[in-house]
Amino acid sequence: MRNFKRYSFLFSTLKKKHSVAIVLSSGRNFLGRICVQHQGGALKNRFLKIDRYRQLNFFGIICKIFKHFFVSGYVGLVIYDNGLSSFILLSEGLRIGLRIFSGYAQSNVNVGSTCKVLNIRPFDSINSLEFYPFSGFKIARGAGVFSYIFSKDILKSNIKLPSG
Q: What is the model's pLDDT at position 14?
A: 81
| Residue 110, in any domain of the structure | no
Q: What is the model's pLDDT at position 43?
A: 67
| Residue 57, in any domain of the structure | no
| Residue 128, in any domain of the structure | yes
| Residue 56, in any domain of the structure | no
| Residue 2, in any domain of the structure | no
| Residue 158, in any domain of the structure | yes
Specify whether the CB–CB gap between 62 and 95 falls below 8 A: yes
| Residue 32, in any domain of the structure | no
Specify whether the CB–CB gap between 103 and 112 falls below 8 A: no
| Residue 45, in any domain of the structure | no
**Residues lower than pLDDT 70 in the chain:** 1-9, 23-25, 40-43, 106-107, 164
Residues 57-95 pLDDT 10s: 899 999 889 898 888 889 999 999 998 999 999 988 889
| 3 state DSSP class of 27 | coil
Which residues constitute the domain of residue 147? 115-164
- Would you call 1 exposed, middle or buried from its count of C-beta atoms within 10 A (0-12, 13-18, 19+)? exposed
Q: What is the model's pLDDT at position 19?
A: 82
- Cα–Cα distance between 86 and 51 in angstroms, integer? 6
Q: What is the model's pLDDT at position 2?
A: 60
- In 18-130, alpha helices (H): none
- Cα–Cα distance between 104 and 117 in angstroms, integer? 10
Specify whether the CB–CB gap between 149 and 159 falls below 8 A: yes
Q: Whole-model pTM?
A: 0.78
Q: How many structural domains compose the chain?
A: 1
Q: What is the model's pLDDT at position 33?
A: 85
